[in-house]
Amino acid sequence: MKLRKLFCIASVAFAALASSQASAVVTGFSSAAGNTYTDYSAAGLVSFDLNLSNSLSTASSFDFTIESGDLGGPLLFNALVNNLLGSGISRFALTLTNATFDFVGSVNAPFGLGASASGSGSSATISFPTPNNFGFEIGDVLLDVVPVGQDWRINIGSLGVGDSFSLRLEVPEPGSLALLIGALAAAGFATRRSSGRRRHAVQA
């Protein structure tokens, strides 16, 4: 009888521990056929390796479901993106749905120097000063192995247990970059033109 009681107590304690350590669960993944991932997420941490071994032309998307261990603050985020097929990418984009970036941390490209990241809200962009052919680390993938990285943070403050958010990772198409640059140039021209009109009106 005592043994059964001890077993029951141990089972309850283990279940409580497992519940407290529950982490964001990958409930969906889509990418080009042949691309794969390995999930390393833990309580309060989104972490994975994304293996782009087949194609970069299709965005890779993850769907995550919030569990109890994720509540109480932003989620830490790190990832390893590898096997870029020798394509020499210059930019990489990340987009969140139903969540935002609370902090954009470090990026490390082992075979290239100067990689940087910027962004706010639901979007962030990683830039490489020299084309990246192999892969890169987002955040502190290697857990404080030199060089020390800084994990990114994902704000899930409006979400509760059972809610979900998505993360989309992709190489921006050259066409979309050209459109963005064109739009920024047009906006700058319009601003200068408007400013010139105001100066001309004052002088008149």
pLDDT at residue 49, rounded to an integer: 97
Neighbours of 189 (CB within 10 A): 10
Cis peptide before 74 (omega within 30 of 0): no
- Give CA separation, 158 vs 30, 32, 99, 103, 199, in Å: 25, 31, 8, 17, 47
Dihedral sign of CA atoms 43, 33, 177, 126 in order: positive
Per-residue tokens: 154: 């994902």
Amino acid symbol at 149 = G
- Residues with pLDDT less than 50, the chain: 1-20, 175-187, 189-195, 197-202, 204
From CA 102, how far away is CA 115, in angstroms rounded?
20
Q: Determine the Cα angle at 165 with ends 173 and 99, to 5°.
A: 80
pLDDT at residue 24, rounded to an integer: 87
